[in-house]
Amino acid sequence: MAGGNRSGAAEERAASRGQSDANRRLKYISLAVLVVQNASLILSIRYVRTLPGDRFFTTSAVVMAEVLKVTTCLFIILLQKRFSVRETLSFLLDCVVYQYSDTLKMAVPSLIYTLQNNLQYIAISNLPAATFQVTYQLKILTTALFSVLMLRKSLSRVQWVSLLLLFAGVAVVQVQQEANKEASGRDSSQQNYMVGLVAVVVSCLSSGFAGVYFEKILKGSAASVWVRNVQLGIFGTALGMLGLWWNDGAAVAERGFLFGYTGMVWCVIFNQAFGGLLVAVVVKYADNILKGFATSFSIIVSTVMSVYLFAFHVDLLFTAGAGLVIGAVYMYSLPRPAGGPLFLSSSSSSSSAKADRADADVEMEAFLPKSKQKKLS
């Protein structure tokens, strides 16, 4: 009898170790996916926008990415409905059309995301990839501020200090870039650093507001992430087409919607369309610290690759600024100490922890088949 108990305990320990090893592998895979997606999108956009020859219309690329994203989400919903077209259409009709007031809520973040996607192309076309990657981390600052103002979230002292370090690091990088520009005595005829800087700052502001607004909507609704992405994509496609007509309408009518598209351009569009959805799934297995590591590694990867691909010059000032940003990102992602003092407190730490666990459960259920959702509940 005792031998049987020991055997059962040994099997449980072996199963636990196996589960732990599997979770560890998933975390490492998650880290790799996040790093590759973060770095490759910026580097590939920079690459295709600096190649000689005909340039594709960035407005058409934004529209195409939205179409692909909506198509993917529709397929996932169809898969969840076990390929029942009638059930899928009925479900979408109810979620998108009949509940039109709920759908209209997505118009605001969709407009901002469409603007943000176009601004990213403008920014990366006019800024070195490494500079954009570092400066774009200001979205952490804007997201934190909007979270405090709109969601009444609380930040720890470490997070406030990390935001100050983040701002300081970005400022140092901008000083370094300005010094390099003055030292060179000339700018590229096809690039405007100030236009790129304004574009990335506005993109960070829009990213922060849209992300917090979207989070607020998700918390007040039972709709899945896939349905929300379909709603976003419908507005995004329509608004993207409007932007295309306004900015490049005559040129697109003359040269065609897919003018300048190459295999590399399609890779950029697929990365932009599927990258966000892939990261959303991967984040299930990645905690905040891992996401902080991923962002930090992606900055390093972008910088190293920029040296080889675009002859980017890294000096002591840029290294110091980027180091501050990387450290700030890591600090911001650290877990809050239990019962630690806060600069701004909107709720107790225990209720905040419960809310975080509830959000995690909702996010997990959004990506699981219904049969597994029932088991979790």
CA distances from 348 to 32, 158, 338, 360 (A): 35, 18, 10, 19
Would you tell me how many other CB atoms lie within 10 Å of the CB of residue 117? 22
CA distances from 148 to 145, 170, 337, 354 (A): 5, 22, 19, 18
**pLDDT bucket at 136, cuts 50 / 70 / 90:** very high
Of 64 and 339, more confident: 64
Q: Per-residue pLDDT for 343 more than 50?
A: no
Residue 370 CA, chain-centre distance (Å), reads: 26
Instruction: Return the percentage of the chain with pLDDT > 90, whole number.
Output: 38
**pLDDT bucket at 364, cuts 50 / 70 / 90:** very low
- Measure the CA–CA gap between 153 and 308, rounded to whole angstroms: 42
Residue 168 CA, chain-centre distance (Å), reads: 23
Q: Let me know: does 284 contact 364? Beta carbons within 8 Å.
A: yes
- Look at the alpha carbons of 46, 48, 191, 241 in this order and tell me if their dihedral is positive or negative: negative
Q: What share of the chain is helix, strand, coil (3-state, %, to 5)?
A: 80, 0, 20
What integer is the mean pLDDT of 355-359? 39
What integer is the mean pLDDT of 65-89? 92
pLDDT at res. 367: 40
pLDDT at res. 59: 94
pLDDT at res. 12: 64
The pLDDT tens digits of the residues spanning 186-210 come to 445 567 889 999 999 999 999 889 8
What integer is the mean pLDDT of 116-144? 91
Radius of gyration of the chain (CA): 23
Burial of 30 (0-12, 13-18, 19+ CB in 10 A): buried
User: What are residue 191's phi and psi, to 5 degrees?
Assistant: -130, 145
Q: Per-residue pLDDT for 279 more than 80?
A: no
pLDDT at res. 224: 78
Q: Which of 8-22, 42-56, 141-155, 295-309 has the lowest mean pLDDT?
A: 8-22
Average pLDDT, the chain: 80
Residues 6+ apart with CB under 8 A from 229: 69, 70, 73, 277
pLDDT at res. 21: 66
Q: Which of 79-83, 124-128, 278-282 has the lowest mean pLDDT?
A: 278-282
- Coil, strand, or helix at residue 342? strand
- Measure the CA–CA gap between 137 and 196, rounded to whole angstroms: 15
pLDDT at res. 273: 87
Of 32 and 145, more confident: 145
Nearest to 166 by CA among 315, 313, 292, 276: 292
Q: Which residues pair with 342 in a beta bridge?
A: 156
pLDDT at res. 242: 95
- Measure the CA–CA gap between 182 and 175, rounded to whole angstroms: 11
Q: Per-residue pLDDT for 349 more than 50?
A: no
Which residue type is seen at 278?
Answer: L
Of 107 and 186, more confident: 107
pLDDT at res. 358: 38
What integer is the mean pLDDT of 76-82? 92
CA distances from 126 to 187, 199, 280 (A): 10, 9, 29
Nearest to 260 by CA among 272, 249, 270, 252: 252
CA dihedral 321, 323, 329, 334 (to 10 degrees): -140
CA distances from 252 to 101, 208, 292 (A): 34, 32, 40
The pLDDT tens digits of the residues spanning 294-325 come to 888 889 989 999 988 888 888 898 999 999 99
- Coil, strand, or helix at residue 98? helix
**pLDDT bucket at 263, cuts 50 / 70 / 90:** very high
Q: Per-residue pLDDT for 264 more than 50?
A: yes
- Measure the CA–CA gap between 63 and 247, rounded to whole angstroms: 13
Q: Let me know: does 266 contact 60? Beta carbons within 8 Å.
A: no
Sequence-ordered strand ranges (E) for the chain: none
Q: Which of 75-79, 85-89, 322-326, 373-377 has the lowest mean pLDDT?
A: 373-377
Length of the chain: 377
pLDDT at res. 25: 76
Q: Let me know: does 342 contact 157? Beta carbons within 8 Å.
A: yes
- Measure the CA–CA gap between 41 and 124, rounded to whole angstroms: 10
